[in-house]
């Protein structure tokens, strides 16, 4: 039995519309024979560092998706809840559904199927040191800041730019309080790090993975097929994370 200060819950957010997929259902898209949504759920369920899983689903698709989820034998799924009108409200619903008993929360987008055990472990290690941490990768391209007319107005040093991924991890009570307090301006936030920053909490990045891609457009599916076909052949099944 894990000590209360170590217990972690994963909140997997699968309530998005997938509007940029041109009609392709990215959560049910088959990757090496399994629906994409199975992949991250399986990663959390198999991680000894995660003790509970909350799945957030679009209300209109809940019955359909629950049938798909039931095909995956899981021992840690503790709750399924409806998403909200925005990602912000979906995460807040998930935090409330998790309930008491957890010290740490990992928020993860179901549209990022290639979550490895190494990323989970790195993330929890980093969060326990700093209080909150998010997976990210350093930018490799030059970055340009533009105005509304696409005129370049700034060139931030590339070494200062990190590309955010999920999971984004923080103390459960910290995240819940921040989300509750910032509801009045929910439309200003795109992820947990921005909510925590607005609430005055320091958040750091930890190394994510180049394989931890997000399925956003049909072009991403070709890369996803490539990664899925090689996933079990990578070191420790980690998707190339080492």
Over the stretch 108-146, which tens digit does the pLDDT of each residue have? 999 999 999 999 999 999 999 989 999 999 999 999 999
Q: Which residue has the tokens 């956003």?
A: 216
pLDDT over 70 for what percent of the chain?
A: 93
The confidence score (pLDDT) of residue 7 equals 96
Q: Give me the DSSP letters along 97-164.
A: HH-SS-SEEEEEETT-----HHHHHHHHHHHHHHSEEEEEEE--S---EE-TT--EEE---GGG-EEE
The predicted model scores a pTM of 0.91
Per-position b or e across 217-234, b if 16+ CB within 10 A of its CB = eeebbeebeebbeebeeb
Residue 55 pLDDT > 60, yes or no? yes
* Domain 8-237, CATH: 3.90.550.10
Q: In terms of DSSP H, where are the helices of the chain?
A: 36-46, 62-69, 87-98, 117-130, 172-181, 192-198, 218-230
Candidates 203, 204, 47; CA nearest to 119 is: 47
Q: Which residue has the tokens 């994963």?
A: 10
């Amino acid at each position: 039995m894990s000590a209360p200060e170590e217990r972690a819950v994963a909140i997997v957010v699968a309530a998005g519309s997938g509007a940029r997929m041109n009609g392709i259902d990215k959560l049910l898209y088959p990757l090496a024979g399994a629906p994409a949504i199975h992949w991250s759920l399986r990663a959390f369920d198999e991680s000894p560092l995660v003790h509970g899983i909350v799945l957030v689903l679009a209300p209109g698709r809940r019955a359909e998706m629950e049938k798909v989820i039931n095909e995956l034998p899981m021992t840690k799924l503790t709750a399924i809840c409806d998403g909200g009108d925005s990602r912000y409200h979906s995460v807040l619903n998930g935090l409330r559904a998790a309930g008491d008993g957890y010290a740490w929360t990992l928020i993860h987008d179901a549209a990022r199927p290639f979550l490895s055990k190494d990323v989970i472990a790195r993330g929890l290690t980093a969060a326990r040191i700093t209080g909150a941490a998010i997976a990210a990768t350093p930018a490799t391209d030059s970055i340009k800041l533009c105005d509304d007319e696409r005129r370049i107005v700034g060139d931030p040093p590339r070494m200062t730019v990190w590309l955010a991924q999920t999971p984004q991890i923080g103390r459960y009570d910290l995240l819940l309080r921040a989300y509750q307090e910032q509801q009045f301006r929910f439309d200003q936030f795109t992820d947990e790090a921005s909510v925590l920053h607005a609430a005055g909490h320091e958040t750091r990045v930890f190394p994510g993975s180049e394989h931890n891609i997000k399925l956003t457009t049909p072009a991403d599916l070709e890369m996803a097929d490539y990664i899925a076909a090689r996933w079990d052949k990578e070191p420790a099944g980690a998707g190339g994370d080492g």
